[in-house]
């Protein structure tokens, strides 16, 4: 029995030792370390839609003590405000803002908002959100012009005007164009505030059109993103007008033809006048020879020498015989003289008509009349001189012909005598 008591006591002692050991080895308590989290806005809505008649009051919150931070806005729409101390967004979109154009419907306004520590500039956050305004009132968009809806223009003129738009609930994004008559040489309008331009051609109005005018209706159809359309039309009446570029070219062609014809006539006049002058010189030589022979015969008849008297009797007969020889070898050039006179008069007439029908500017209102007058004068002169050969090749320059034709000697020869 005693042995059992000793063994039991030993067991009790051994069982009690670990308990005393645990008390001696208790761990020291761990103090938790506080970690600083990044600054962020907890309740920012990235997309805000606001009715025009409502008011916005939105309290932004951060994950830190708000009294140590201040708020700010960047690129905000007109009227949007934020309280720098507590981050309260407030906005009352008055209708006058939209009527004056300061704000627009269905436009995404990107608003940048930020918050920063008052003591530490690096402790900050910048973000953004989208703000859109809408209106439940139905406002139709309209297409307008900077000119009246009815225009009257002439051929060859330019039609230009601006195509303007009045935005309703939604702005007009596309403009379609159509014409009642196919046209060309125009600048297409695809968007608002663009300029329409059309160069009206000279052959737009045909001879079969009533009243020598043609009407074209231009249609502009504007459409919004929601396919709401507005149509505007403009009526353009085009009147028949003279094609000035072509008329000026025709006048220049007729004037050039007359100039070339005058030069050929001057060359013909030069040849005829040279023949008349040559014949006149030969006949004058015969007349002087005949007169000298007759005078010599008279002088010799008064001589005392018999032989000289006989010679003096023969010489007058020689002078008389020179007259038929003169007519046979150098006949009077009356036909050539008359032709030269007529040609000279025709040249003077054409030169006068050229100077009298010169164009005054590129758009001379009488260009058609002047061209017709020159063409008629040229035709009359050509008919009058139809028998005059003018196809000979010229061997003189224009300056030489003008100098000869306008020389004082020629003017004295062919001028009118009383």
SS3 (DSSP) at 271: helix
CA gap 181, 189 in Å, rounded: 17
Give CA separation, 295 vs 91, 148, 281, 315, 380, in Å. 135, 100, 21, 9, 53
State both tokens at 240.
Answer: 């028949």
In this prediction, residue 20 carries a pLDDT of 41
For residue 251, what are its two tokens?
Answer: 């006048």
Q: Measured in whole angstroms, how far is the alpha carbon of residue 237 from the centre of its chain?
A: 22
Q: How many CB atoms lie within 10 A of CB 233?
A: 15
Q: Which residue has the higher pLDDT, 276 or 323?
A: 276
Q: For 240-368, list the strands marked E by DSSP.
A: none
Read off the pLDDT of each residue in 280-308 and give the average, rounded to a whole number: 58
- Average pLDDT of the segment spanning 301-305: 61
Compute CA 35 distance to the chain's CA centroid, rounded to the nearest angstrom: 72
Instruction: Name the phi and psi angles at 186, rounded to 5.
Output: -130, 155
pLDDT at 339 over 50: yes
Helix (H, G, I), strand (E, B) or coil at 310: helix
Neighbours of 145 (CB within 10 A): 17
User: What is the C-alpha separation between 336 and 271, in angstroms, rounded?
Assistant: 10
Separation of alpha carbons 272 and 266, rounded Å: 10
Decide: 198 and 151 in contact? Cβ < 8 Å: no
How many Cα atoms occupy the beta-carbon half-sphere of 37 within 13 Å? Answer: 8
Residue 41 DSSP code: B
Are the CB atoms for 246 and 252 separated by under 8 Å?
no
Decide if pLDDT at 312 tops 60: no
Check residues 394 and 54 and name the one with the higher pLDDT. 54
pLDDT band at 43 (very low <50, low <70, confident <90, very high): confident
Residue 146 CB burial class (10 angstroms; 0-12, 13-18, ≥19): exposed
Predicted pLDDT at 348: 86
Give pLDDT, residue 189: 92
Confidence bin at 233 (pLDDT 50/70/90):
very high
Alpha-helical segments (H) within 230-305: 244-301
Q: What is the pLDDT of residues 171-190, one digit of tens each?
A: 888 999 999 999 988 999 99
pLDDT in tens, 354-412: 888 888 877 787 888 888 898 898 888 888 887 777 665 566 777 777 777 777 777 77
Residue 286's pLDDT band (boundaries 50, 70, 90)? very low
**What is the phi-psi region of residue 70: left when phi exceeds 0, alpha when psi lies from -120 to 50, beta otherwise?**
beta
Domains of the chain by start residue, with CATH: 47-134 (2.60.40.10), 142-241 (2.60.40.10), 245-414 (no CATH)
Q: Are 237 and 151 in contact (CB under 8 A)?
A: yes
Question: Using the 8-state DSSP alphabet, how is residue 240 labeled?
Answer: P
15, pLDDT greater than 70: no
Which tops the pLDDT comparison, 280 or 416?
Answer: 416
Q: Tokens 């006049």 belong to which residue?
A: 269
**Tokens at residue 359, please?**
């164009």
Query: What average pLDDT is seen over the chain?
Result: 78
């Amino acid at each position: 029995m005693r042995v059992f008591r000793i063994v039991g006591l030993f067991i009790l002692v051994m069982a009690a030792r670990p308990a005393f050991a645990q008390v001696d080895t208790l761990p020291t308590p761990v103090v938790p370390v506080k970690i600083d989290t990044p600054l962020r806005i907890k309740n920012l809505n990235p997309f805000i839609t606001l009715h025009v008649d409502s008011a916005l009051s939105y309290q932004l919150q951060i994950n830190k003590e708000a009294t140590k931070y201040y708020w700010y806005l960047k690129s905000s729409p007109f009227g949007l405000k934020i309280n720098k101390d507590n981050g309260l967004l407030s906005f009352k979109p008055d209708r006058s803002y939209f009527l004056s154009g300061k704000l627009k419907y269905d436009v995404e306004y990107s608003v940048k908002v930020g918050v920063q520590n008052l003591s530490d500039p690096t402790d900050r956050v910048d973000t953004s959100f989208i703000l859109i305004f809408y209106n439940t009132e139905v406002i139709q968009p309209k297409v307008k012009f900077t000119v009246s809806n009815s225009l009257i223009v002439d051929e060859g003129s330019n039609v230009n005007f601006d195509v303007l738009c009045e935005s309703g609930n939604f702005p007009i994004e596309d403009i379609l164009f159509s014409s009642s008559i196919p046209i060309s040489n125009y600048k297409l309008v695809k968007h608002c505030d663009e300029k329409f331009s059309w160069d009206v051609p000279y052959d737009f109005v045909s001879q079969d059109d009533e009243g020598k005018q043609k009407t074209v209706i231009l249609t502009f159809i504007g459409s919004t993103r929601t396919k709401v359309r507005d149509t505007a039309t403009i009526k353009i009446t085009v009147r028949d007008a003279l094609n000035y570029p072509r008329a000026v070219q025709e006048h220049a062609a007729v004037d050039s033809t007359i100039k070339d014809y005058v030069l050929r006539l001057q060359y013909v006049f030069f040849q005829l006048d040279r023949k008349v002058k040559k014949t006149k010189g030969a006949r004058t030589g015969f007349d002087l020879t005949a007169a000298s022979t007759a005078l010599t015969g008279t002088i010799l008849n008064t001589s005392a020498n018999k032989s000289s008297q006989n010679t003096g009797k023969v010489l007058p007969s020689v002078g008389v015989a020179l007259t038929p020889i003169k007519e046979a070898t150098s006949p009077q050039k009356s036909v050539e003289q008359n032709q030269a006179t007529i040609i000279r008069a025709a040249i003077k007439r054409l030169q006068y008509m050229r100077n009298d029908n010169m164009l005054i500017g590129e758009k001379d209102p009488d260009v058609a009349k002047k061209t017709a007058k020159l063409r008629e004068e040229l035709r009359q002169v050509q008919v009058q001189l139809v028998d005059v050969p003018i196809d000979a090749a010229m061997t003189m320059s224009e300056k030489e012909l003008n100098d000869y034709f306008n020389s004082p000697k020629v003017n004295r020869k062919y001028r009118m005598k009383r």
